[in-house]
Amino acid sequence: MANVSAEQLGSESISSLLIKQAVPASIGILVMSLNVLVDSIFVGNWIGSIAIAAINVVLPVSFFIGALGMSIGIGGASIISRALGANNTEKALRTFGNQISFTLLVTILMVVLGLTYVDFLIPAFGGKGSIFELAKIYYVIVLYGVPLLALNMMGNAVIRAEGKPKFAMIAMIIPSLGNLVMDYLFINVLDYGMEGAAWATTISYFLCFSYILYFFLSKHSELKLNLQYFRINFSILKEISSLGFVTLSRQAVVSIIYLLMNNILFNLGGEAMVAVYAIVGRMLMFALFPVFGITQGFLPIAGFNYGAGKYDRVKESIYTAIKYAAILATVVFVGLMLFPNEIASLFLSDKPNMTAMELATNAFVLENTPSAMRWVFAATPIIALQLIGAAYFQAIGKAVPALLLTLCRQGFFFIPLILILPTYLGELGVWISFPIADVLATIVTGYYLRKEVNRTLVSEKI
């Protein structure tokens, strides 16, 4: 993994910098995405299509609780980075301790509420019909582990704040590999079914937590675990919350979308339609990892050069990042348009002793997933502009436009579209909402990005 100095950020060629920054980010995203993808393939082939739908129902809950940890981690990481830079180790340690306490308090409360209202929450998130029992089995077991997931997400951000990206990457790889091994053992070898899938996920959270705990207890970490710093400091919590709000808002919208989509699709086509969305959703997580990697790599380059007043380099970084991301997005688009049937078939296979209903569900999913996938990814080549544009405002420290543009596609356009179009167009209305939202969000982002560039990047600051 290449390390880049501040001097290089301001002098090395933008293309070279972008590759150095984007590759490690892409690897991390790839590992996480590949884990979700292969996990779904294992579950679909060894348990069935309804099992994929059941996991998709539980995903918004675990995703949101994990997002709480991520937002606390990112908010606190900003404070820790600045505190360590100013040699204020006391504030860094106090912030770290408060992050741990805050994460535990919030997530344990969420688990208690989640278990108390389990029979209400699962149907509310789309776990109806034959999905319910499988979703409940998975939900209860995984929910016990999600505080560890939140701590992992929080700890990973802090490790990066200490300037240890290698350890952060390893912390992402360990649970991914562990989950896949456990899936094979518990589902395929021991035939534990849905319980096996749930325990594989929960144990993977524990493996990651064990590694992160090792890091903070080792000589590699500047931050040490000390109980005196776990006492809640409300001024620190306020600062953590304000800085992490953008991340939490973005992740909360994703959870809301899963809730809405599962319910809308169940009403349109039952369990099988939810399974179709589960497969398409996994591809959304996986296929665009190189584009997200370019976006992450772009942030420090644009931020540093903007702060240094090197506006020509900022403009070059914007255009280069959009170009690279658009090329990669187009490659993804071509692959998905050409091979949707082959991709869908990876997730499901007919097993001995399957019931007639299970065979019919598999056939429906395999028949309908390719066309859904083509619609969902129809506008993929243009999304680079929307992602880089929103990231630019984040890079230069303009939180409000960064938040609004980040939420633009999913919150302001996509959610209204899926609430309106299916009423008139049925399931087609759901799928075409994706490219319509992409196009509208790209137009809005392009307008504001061009306006901001013309207004602020007008000359080289001396």
- Summarised one tens digit per residue, pLDDT across range 128-145 is 888 899 889 999 998 998
Q: Could you give the CA distance from residue 178 to residue 202 in angstroms, rounded to a whole number? A: 10
Residue 83's pLDDT is what? 72
Model pTM greater than 0.85? no
Domain that holds residue 436: 246-461
59 contact partners, CB below 8 Å, separation of at least 6: 258, 281
Task: Give CA–CA dist 65/322, Å, rounded.
Answer: 32
Would you mind telling me the total number of residues written for the chain in this entry? Answer: 462
Mean pLDDT to the nearest integer, 313-317: 86
Alpha-carbon gap, residue 2 to 77, rounded angstroms: 21
In a domain, 435, yes or no: yes
**Are 226 and 261 members of one domain?**
no
What was the pLDDT predicted at 233? Answer: 81
Q: Which whole number is the average pLDDT over 431-443?
A: 96
Domain stops at, among 171, 206, 232: 232
Q: Is there a single domain that holds both residue 331 and residue 191?
A: no
In a domain, 212, yes or no: yes
Instruction: Please indicate, yes or no, whether residues 285 and 405 belong to a single structural domain of this protein.
Output: yes
76-107 tens-digit pLDDT: 776 776 676 667 878 888 888 888 888 899 88
253 and 200, same structural domain?
no
Q: Which of 156-160, 262-266, 315-319 has the lowest mean pLDDT?
A: 156-160
Residues 214 and 256 in one domain: no
pLDDT tens digits, 229-261? 788 888 888 877 776 777 777 778 888 888 899
In terms of domains, do 18 and 166 share one?
Answer: yes
pLDDT at 386: 92
16 and 139: one domain? Answer: yes
Picking from 210, 232, 254, the residue at the C-terminal end of a domain is 232
Indicate whether 237 belongs to any domain. Answer: no
pLDDT band at 461, cuts 50/70/90?
very low
Across the chain, mean pLDDT equals: 83
| Total of domains in the chain | 2
Percent of the chain with pLDDT over 70: 90
Residue 241 in any domain: the answer is: no
Do both 85 and 159 map to the same domain?
Answer: yes
Give domain status of residue 376, yes or no: yes
368 pLDDT band, cuts 50/70/90, is: very high
pLDDT of the residue at 460: 47
Query: Residue 377 falls within a domain, yes or no?
Result: yes
**Residues 88, 42 share a domain:** yes
49 within domain boundaries: yes
> Of the candidates 167, 198, 232, which is a domain's last residue?
232
More confident position, 125 or 416: 416
- Residue 331 and residue 228 in one domain: no
Instruction: State how far the Cα of 418 lies from the Cα of 277, in Å rounded to an integer.
Output: 13
Q: Residue 2 pLDDT > 60, yes or no? A: no
Identify the pLDDT of residue 421.
96
| Rounded distance between C-alpha atoms, residue 169 and residue 151, angstroms | 16
Reading the block at residue 239, the tokens are 């600062």
Is 239 part of a structural domain of the chain? no
Same domain, 26 and 167: yes
Domain co-membership, 156 together with 258: no
Which pLDDT value is given to residue 28? 67
pLDDT at 25: 66
Q: Which of the two residues, 300 and 409, has the higher pLDDT score?
A: 409
Distance of CA 48 to the CA centre of its chain: 25
